[in-house]
Amino acid sequence: ISFNCVDSSLSSLKNCQSYINTGMDIATHVALDLVESFNDVEDVNSMENVMLEYAAMDRELNHYMRAIEETVNQIKREKPENIPDLKYLVKEKFTALESKNSDSDLQKNEKYMYFKDQLKEMRKQFCHRSDNGNEAIEQIDEDIAVTQSQMNFICPITQMEMKRPVRNKVCGHSYEEDAILKIIQTRKQQKKKVRCPKIGCSHADVKGSDLVPDEALKRAIDSQNKQ
């Protein structure tokens, strides 16, 4: 039995998945734009719902592709004399996978988790500027907050303001992308692990795969420099 057509269809489905990923990236950027311009809460919640819808589509697509792959592998393994009903077998496996769905699955989607993490960081960076109250106290609080933020803008490796910050998903600390990747590469050649360069951090195994762009921090740095 030739599965060329099936392989071609799977390839097309994987392309669809890349479109979903792009949609999630766009939704994340829109949500960060909303926080930066102080259109928070309701508008941002609507973007979170969009992210969850994308996550559900991604899960359904993953289940369908897995059902197809398992069906093909089963037929290759069993080598039946007559061609079975592929559509029925795929549907059966797909239904079994979908029956195990839960809302918590969507919360564990990698891009959704990144969305939530960056949203939290974005609110930390920008929301203190929108607070109201006594002007003198507010100015002092803002000066302290800005000073603390500026300290966070400094890379613990280069001791310079970051231009392309990346965030460690494990310990939450950020570094200049080129600087941390250079250290990881050097230690890899020496067959040694990389300790997080942030003073006081106990995380002793920084990996390149744990680093994600820190969009919230980059926006805060850019915003501060514009002011």
pLDDT digits (tens, 9 = 90+) for 129-188: 554 444 444 544 554 444 555 668 999 999 999 999 999 999 999 999 999 999 999 999
Query: Among 142, 143, 147, which Cα is nearest to 129's?
Result: 142
pTM of the model: 0.78
Predicted pLDDT of residue 165: 97
- For the chain, the structural domain boundaries read 3-128, 165-225
Q: pLDDT tens across 90-123, in order? A: 999 999 999 999 989 999 999 999 999 999 988 8
Give the CATH number of domain 165-225; options: 3.40.50.620, 3.20.20.70, 3.30.40.10, 3.30.420.240. 3.30.40.10
| Cβ proximity of 111 and 25 under 8 Å | yes
Q: What are the CA-CA distances from residue 121 to residues 13, 36, 76, 223 (Å)?
A: 34, 11, 49, 14
Predicted pLDDT of residue 225: 86
